[in-house]
Amino acid sequence: MNEVLKLHYDVDGENFTSAGDASVNVKKKLRQMGFSPDVIRRVSIAMYEGEINMVIHACGGEVDVFIYPEEIDIILADKGPGIADVELAMKEGYSTAPDNIRSLGFGAGMGLPNMKRYSDEMKIESKVGAGTKITMKVKVAGE
């Protein structure tokens, strides 16, 4: 585990147009490093969902990505409103996204379920009024 690449991104909570840039950047890096299309897809989609949630629900935040040969860890941290009922938020179809956000194509309530589905491990730590920290691990399956 000595070959580690660390990436850090600040996610701007105001800017919808640039939302997703960090994930697309990670995707490019992983591709350059020669990870399999499956790993690249899982990491970039899981991270994108987290990034978009930060913009929509938490006024932005920070993402740290640690790339090891055998796994990729993604840590999303924000100082937003927090999630009162994590179990409910994890349900497919549950969304508090307002109408203006829905008109952009978000609000299916599938983001957190996608993050769970595309990662091998996911942990949500959230405190109402303080913020949310989501840690995801994507394992690189050996040949």
Partner 1 sequence: MKVNDIVTKLSLEVLCGDTSREAGGCYIGDLLSWVMSHAKCDDVWITIMSNSNVVAVASLVDAACVIIAEGVKPDPEIIALAQSKDICLLGSEKTAFELAALMPEL
Ligand X SMILES: Nc1ncnc2c1ncn2[C@@H]1O[C@H](COP(=O)(O)OP(=O)(O)OP(=O)(O)O)[C@@H](O)[C@H]1O
Contact residues toward ligand X (CB under 6 A) are 49, 53-54, 56-58, 78, 80-83, 89, 94-97, 106-113, 132
**Angstrom distance (rounded) from CA 81 to CA 127:** 8
Beta strands in the chain (DSSP E): 5-12, 60-67, 71-78, 121-127, 131-139
Q: Site residues for partner 1, window 52-91 (CB under 8 A)?
A: 52
Residue with smaller CB distance to ligand X, 73 or 78: 78
Could you say which of ligand X, Mg ion, partner 1, none residue 45 binds, taking C-beta under 5 to 8 angstroms by partner kind? partner 1
How many C-beta atoms surround the C-beta of residue 92 within 10 A? Answer: 12
Among 9, 23, 122, 134, binds partner 1 (CB under 8 A): 23
The two counts, helices (H) then strands (E), for the chain are 5, 5
Contact set for Mg ion, span 85-124 (CB under 5 A):
111
Among 44, 53, 126, 132, binds Mg ion (CB under 5 A): 53
What six digits make up the tokens of 143? 């040949």
